[in-house]
């Protein structure tokens, strides 16, 4: 298992630094005190917190000022809690622009900007990446992924060239809900990619068979999307009491237990739950702290979730 | 792409119900008091259906054409496109329907308007009852009211009433019925209680139109109350 190490920044100290004028806010008062755990990116060893932030649906709020304010608050809480990786896509409507607004306001010191290229044809990919960068208001992306393998044969050489030229740090591919896994495997085995993004949770575990072991073997980082099956798992488990094992790993909510199940898999680098709720950000970040389930407990989590959900 | 069958409706929904209704709320605030003008336009449509006069029906078709054109531009293109990448395509189809309605207004040999309580009911529901749905929804409020001529759903339902009353040919029904399916599916995925309403109204109107087609009348061959 790759080492999970505490973030060097203590969570409370980082929250104080990142929250600025919110020093006396209830958000800070409710902040977790444990440090956020990190995992190394296999290709470089750079440490990345195991909990990231997705933006599908939640940050697509258009020009709505209230929705934008709330999104900025969510990202403020995320960065204050030690989070780094924020993931988006040109497919997510206004999400990139909303993230860019938050980046401009919050100026997060350790943002790990992960975006995607999602367009047919390689030539259009260049323009799309530049348009996305401007929306994010960042000098460059840390990670660019080929979204759902769309035109990957054309986009991947472009992204790898950007990485060679120092205009990009990492390259990846994505899929979701178990689609095109055979093709994902083929690319993982043949291309020098740094990350693969897949769907994985206590119910959808197909990737445990081949993709996750292959990622480990090829030293490819794994980003996990749809950790709650786009909310369906949380809805199914709502009102169901947490089993006794939850306390053993410091979980007080199903969200924490489900996320701990995911990030405790050795090959997983980080999970990217999306939310528009500050309370949920905090809850998600707590899943990146404290004790993680061992193999025996992971099996029990699967059994209990399949029985209850 | 060979895996289209693996996609579900939820995979295409890219915004939350909160963002959707806030968009309507901010749009309503931005164009108020245009709603009053829309209400007057809606009354013209209702009078046109209630009274069997050809020139009134022509006015109704032109009012509807203007409403579809406005919704295409002001709603789909200017607002909905902020949160839905498919909105420009919706705008294009609404613009096509606006042109079709212009054509319907002046098309020679139109089927004669027939006294249709159902058509009147559909249009009345669209203009008077549809805004009230905002209050029936959990967390809904007046500021999020969906008004005929301002947003798509009530505009489409009112159009179904007119098409039914005018016994319009199938080509005029295509976009309204498709929109009822698209919007119904969207509301269903957003878990809105009245998601079933729009498809149900479309089905009702189509069935009534098919049943009514057994006794076609023609403006040119029937006594025109005005002439």
pLDDT tens per residue across span A126-141: 999 999 999 999 999 9
Give me the percent of chain A exceeding a pLDDT of 70.
Answer: 89
Is residue B175 helix, strand or coil? Answer: helix
Both tokens assigned to A299: 């099996």
How many Cβ pairs within 8 Å bridge chains A and B? Answer: 52
Enumerate the residues of chain A whose CB falls inside 8 A of the CB of residue B10: 230
Over range B38-64, report the average pLDDT: 86
Which helix (H) or strand (E) covers residue A56, if one does? none
Q: How many Å apart are CA B220 and CA B108, to the nearest integer? A: 8
pLDDT at site B136: 86
Would you mind telling me the total number of residues written for chain A in this entry? Answer: 309
Split at pLDDT 50, 70, 90, the class of A22 is very low
Q: Is A4 left (phi over 0), alpha (psi -120 to 50) or beta?
A: beta
Q: Is A176 left (phi over 0), alpha (psi -120 to 50) or beta?
A: beta
pLDDT at site B224: 41
Task: Give, as one character, the DSSP assignment of residue A172.
Answer: E
Instruction: Read off the pLDDT of residues A101-118 as tens digits, 9 standing for 90 and up.
Output: 999 999 999 999 999 999
**What is the dihedral sign for C-alpha A26, A97, A170, A190?**
positive
What is the distance between the terminal CA atoms of chain A, rounded to a whole angstrom? 29
Strands A112-117 and A37-40: what pairing? Answer: unpaired
Residues of the domain holding A67:
48-234+267-290
Q: How many domains in chain A?
A: 1
- Asked, for residue A31, whether it belongs to a domain, the answer is no
- Asked, for residue A8, whether it belongs to a domain, the answer is no
Enumerate the residues of chain A whose CB falls inside 8 A of the CB of residue B83: 60-62, 93-94
Angle at B134 between CA B129 and CA B138, to 5 degrees: 135
Residue A32 has pLDDT above 60, yes or no: no
Per the CB < 8 A criterion, the answer to whether A273 and A228 are in contact is yes
pTM above 0.90, yes or no: no
Residue B205 has pLDDT above 70, yes or no: yes
Enumerate the residues of chain A whose CB falls inside 8 A of the CB of residue B79: 62
Residue A217 has pLDDT above 70, yes or no: yes
pLDDT at site B223: 37
Per the CB < 8 A criterion, the answer to whether A189 and A218 are in contact is yes
Split at pLDDT 50, 70, 90, the class of B48 is confident
Chain A, 251-290: which have a CB under 8 Å from a chain B CB? Answer: 276
Lateral strand order in the sheet of A168-174? A85-87, A112-117, A141-146, A168-174, A195-199, A221-225, A270-271
Partners of A5 in the β-ladder: A38
| Cβ partners under 8 Å of residue B125, min gap 6 | B157, B201
Q: What residues does each domain of chain B span?
A: 15-212
Q: Search chain B and give the residue with CA nearest A59.
A: B15
Instruction: Read off the pLDDT of residues A2-12 as tens digits, 9 standing for 90 and up.
Output: 445 444 344 43
- Asked, for residue A21, whether it belongs to a domain, the answer is no
A14 in contact with B at a CB cutoff of 8 Å? no
CA separation, residue A166 to residues A42, A135, A207 (Å): 19, 20, 32
Chain B, 136-195: which have a CB under 8 Å from a chain A CB? Answer: none
pLDDT at site A33: 52
Strands A5-6 and A195-199: what pairing? Answer: unpaired
Which helix (H) or strand (E) covers residue A5, if one does? strand A5-6
Does the distance separating the beta carbons of A63 and B14 come in below 8 Å?
Answer: no
A62 in contact with B at a CB cutoff of 8 Å? yes
Per the CB < 8 A criterion, the answer to whether A94 and A62 are in contact is yes
pLDDT at site A12: 39
- Residue A68's CATH number: 3.20.20.100
Buried b (16+ CB within 10 A) or exposed e, A232-263: ebbebbeeeebbeebeebbbebbbbbbbbbbb
Other C-beta atoms lying within 10 Å of the C-beta of residue A213: 13
* Of the candidate ranges A23-37, A214-228, B62-76, B189-203, the one whose mean pLDDT is the lowest: A23-37
Phi, psi dihedrals of residue A51, rounded to the nearest 5°: -110, 120
Split at pLDDT 50, 70, 90, the class of A96 is very high
**What is the dihedral sign for C-alpha A28, A30, A31, A34?**
positive
Per the CB < 8 A criterion, the answer to whether B54 and B145 are in contact is no
Question: Minimal CA–CA distance to B178: which of B209, B206, B142?
Answer: B206
**What is the dihedral sign for C-alpha A49, A51, A57, A58?**
negative
Instruction: Read off the pLDDT of residues B129-174 as tens digits, 9 standing for 90 and up.
Output: 999 999 888 888 899 999 999 999 999 999 999 999 888 899 999 9
How far apart are the CA of A91 and the nearest CA of chain B, in angstroms?
Answer: 8
Is residue A47 helix, strand or coil? Answer: strand
CA separation, residue A258 to residues A35, A90, A273 (Å): 19, 28, 11
């Amino acid at each position: 298992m790759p080492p999970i190490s505490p973030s060097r920044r203590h969570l409370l100290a980082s929250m104080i630094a990142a929250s600025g004028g919110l020093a006396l806010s209830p958000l800070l008062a409710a902040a977790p005190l444990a440090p956020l755990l990190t995992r190394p990116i296999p290709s470089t060893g750079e440490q990345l917190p195991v909990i990231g932030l997705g933006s599908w649906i939640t940050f697509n709020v258009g020009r709505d000022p209230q929705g934008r304010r709330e999104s900025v608050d969510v990202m403020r809480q995320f960065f204050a809690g030690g989070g780094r990786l924020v993931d988006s896509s040109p497919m997510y409507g206004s999400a990139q622009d909303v993230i860019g607004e938050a980046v401009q306001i919050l100026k997060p010191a350790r943002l790990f900007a992960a975006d995607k290229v999602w367009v047919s044809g390689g030539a259009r990919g260049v323009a799309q990446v530049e348009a996305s960068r401007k929306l994010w208001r960042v000098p460059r992306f840390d990670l660019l992924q080929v979204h759902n393998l769309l035109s990957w044969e054309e986009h991947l050489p472009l992204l790898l060239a950007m990485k060679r030229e120092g205009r990009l740090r990492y390259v990846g591919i994505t899929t979701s809900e178990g689609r095109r896994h055979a093709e994902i495997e083929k690319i993982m085995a043949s291309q020098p990619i740094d990350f693969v993004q897949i769907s994985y949770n206590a119910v959808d575990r197909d990737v445990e068979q081949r993709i996750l072991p292959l990622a480990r073997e090829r030293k490819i980082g794994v980003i996990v999307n749809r950790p709650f099956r786009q909310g369906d798992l949380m809805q199914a488990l709502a009102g169901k009491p947490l089993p006794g094992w939850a306390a053993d790993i410091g979980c007080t909510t199903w969200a924490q237990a489900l996320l701990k199940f995911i990030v405790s898999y050795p090959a997983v680098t980080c999970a990217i739950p999306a939310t528009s709720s500050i309370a949920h950000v905090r809850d998600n970040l707590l899943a990146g702290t404290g004790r993680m389930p061992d193999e025996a407990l992971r099996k029990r989590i699967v059994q209990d979730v399949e029985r209850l959900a | 792409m060979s895996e289209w069958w693996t996609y579900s409706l939820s995979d295409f929904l890219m915004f939350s119900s909160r963002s959707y209704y806030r968009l309507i709320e901010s749009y309503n605030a931005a164009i108020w008091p245009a709603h009053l003008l829309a209400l007057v336009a809606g009354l013209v449509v209702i009078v046109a259906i209630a009274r069997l006069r050809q020139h009134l029906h022509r006015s109704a078709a032109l009012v509807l054409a203007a409403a579809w054109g406005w919704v295409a531009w002001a709603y789909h293109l200017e607002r909905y496109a902020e949160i839905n990448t498919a909105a420009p395509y919706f705008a294009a189809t609404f613009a096509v329907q606006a042109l079709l309605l212009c054509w319907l207004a002046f098309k020679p040999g139109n089927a004669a308007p027939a006294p249709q309580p159902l058509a009147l009911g559909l249009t009345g529901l669209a203009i008077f009852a549809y805004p009230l749905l905002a209050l029936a929804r959990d967390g809904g409020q007046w500021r999020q009211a969906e008004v005929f001529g301002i947003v798509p759903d009530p505009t489409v339902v009112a159009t179904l009433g007119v098409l039914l009353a005018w016994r319009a040919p199938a080509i005029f029904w295509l976009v309204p019925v498709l929109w009822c399916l698209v919007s119904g599916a969207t509301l269903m995925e957003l878990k809105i209680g009245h998601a079933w309403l729009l498809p149900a109204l479309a089905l009702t109107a189509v069935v009534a139109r098919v049943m009514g087609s057994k006794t076609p009348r023609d403006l040119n061959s029937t006594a025109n109350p005005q002439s």
